[in-house]
Amino acid sequence: MTVSTTVSVVGVKETINALKKIDPQLQKDFRAQATSIAQPAINAAKEVYTQVPLSGMQYKWNSRGRQLFPFSVAKAKSGVKLRIDTRRNAVGVILIEQKDPATAIFETAGRANANRLGDQLGFVGQGRTRLIGPAVYKARRGIEAEMQKMILDTARTVRQAM
C-alpha cells in the first residue's frame, strides 16, 4: 500500500508560519530579508518627521496614569518599524508601523471622531494617517516587485523542504 501526500502553501501567512515549523532560523532570515527590502519605504517614513507638529506636544501629557507625550522627532523616527503579522484575523501581513505612542496619536488624532487635538492638527480621513501612510505608499512602488519575488522564492523553499 502506497501513501502519497501533497502539501501546498497558499499565501504569505501560511508560508511564514511554515518557515517557523521547518526551522525558526529560516523565519528570522525571512524577517531580516523583508526588512532590508522594505528599507527604502522605512527610510521614507522616517524622513517625514522633521519637527514637532504643535508646540504643546513637546511637554509631558498624562492620561489615566499613562504618559502619552512628549513628542520628539528622534523618537518618531526610531518608532518606524517593519512588523510581520501572521495572526488569523490580521489585515496585513508585512506592515510598516509607528511604535512611538506620541507619534501614533499625532498620526491618527481626529480620525474616528472630532476632538480638539484632531481639529488643531487638521483633517485626516477615516482609515488614513497624516504622514507615514502617504510616505510609505509613495515608496512602495519601488519595493513591491522585489518583495513579491522574495515571497515566491520562500514559498518554493517551503514546498521543497516539506
3-class DSSP state of 60: coil
**Tens-digit pLDDT profile for the chain (162 aa)?**
333 333 333 578 888 888 888 888 888 888 999 999 999 999 999 999 888 888 877 878 888 888 888 888 999 999 999 998 888 887 778 888 889 989 888 888 777 777 787 777 777 777 778 788 888 888 888 788 898 888 888 888 878 876
Residue 5: inside a domain, yes or no?
no
Cell numbers placing 61: 501629557
What is the identity of the amino acid at 115?
N
Residue 3: inside a domain, yes or no?
no
Residue 2: inside a domain, yes or no?
no
Residue 1: inside a domain, yes or no?
no
| Structural domains counted in the chain | 1
Q: pTM for this one?
A: 0.78
Cell numbers placing 83: 512588523
Residue 120: inside a domain, yes or no?
yes
Burial of 149 (0-12, 13-18, 19+ CB in 10 A): exposed
Q: What is the rounded end-to-end Cα distance, in angstroms, of the chain?
A: 21
Expressed as residue numbers, the domain containing 157 is 12-161
Q: Any idea what the Cα angle at residue 116 is, between residues 61 and 55, rounded to 5°?
A: 50
